[in-house]
Amino acid sequence: MELSDWYICTSVNGAAFTTESHAVRRADVRPQDEGRPRPRGAARREALLEAVLRIVAEVGADAVTHRRVAEEAGLPLASTTYWFDSKEHILTAALELAAERDTARLVDYAAAVTRRLASADAALEATVAAICEPLDDGRQARRGSLLATYALLLEAARRPALREIAVRWTEAYLLTLEQLLELGGSRCPREDAELLLAAADGLLIEQLSTGATIDLRPRLRRLVKLLVKTPCAH
């Protein structure tokens, strides 16, 4: 199954990761500037969720409360209690927003890049770019979005409501990488996609924990070439 087909199948009215109880990454989002009109409706809900992602990036998920989210977003406390009935609801909706944005990016990327691939080498380069493209944002924006993402993904280990979103987000990456690796000559593209994504996650977490800012592309290119040359494990 291609990513675009999977994305449609896992969407409800065009919004991926949305559940009946929760309407629905990586961006540099800031609190509302003083003097600006306050967002309303769906825009207000999104402003609250962007505030959640900033809080999680700065101090962790434990610091998320209705009051703190409202203060960070520059909105009344009543707006958070209107949209979210619990802390778990807030965290779930924030992860949904991050997942939806990144999955939409992957769908667009896969559709555009596969139309213009001219060789197996180009497909392997596109595989690396699928992972690294979001890292091209400004350094601070990149660090904040990655911190929020990994913090919420780790929360999924303790919060079942987040787990399904984490699994589906991971699947979106695996489908994209699998498709590109197959075009690049991989004999076991699914397995190679899993290994590549795990390695990329490990390298990114290492960078976050040490403060390093090394370009991951050379390492990932090397790994991709090794994976394609190596026989399948089964």
Question: Domains in the chain and their CATH numbers?
Answer: 3-229 (1.10.357.10)
CA separation for the pair 6, 29 (Å, rounded): 29
Rounded mean pLDDT, 13-21: 39
pTM (predicted TM-score): 0.79
Q: CA 16, 40, 36: angle at the middle one, nearest 5?
A: 120
Distance of alpha carbon 180 from its chain centroid, rounded?
19
Indicate if the pLDDT at residue 1 is higher than 90: no
Element (H, E) at 92: helix 87-114
For 185-220, the pLDDT digits (tens) are: 999 999 999 999 999 999 999 988 998 888 899 999
Tell me the CA distances in angstroms from 82 to 32, 41, 108, 130, 144, one per residue in order. 19, 11, 33, 37, 27
pLDDT band with cut points at 50, 70 and 90 for residue 15 = very low
**145, 57 Cβ separation under 8 angstroms:** yes
For 120-167, the pLDDT digits (tens) are: 999 999 999 999 887 766 566 678 888 999 999 999 998 998 999 999
pLDDT at 27: 34
pLDDT at 231: 87
pLDDT at 42: 83
Indicate if the pLDDT at residue 90 is higher than 70: yes
pLDDT at 55: 96
pLDDT, mean over the chain = 84
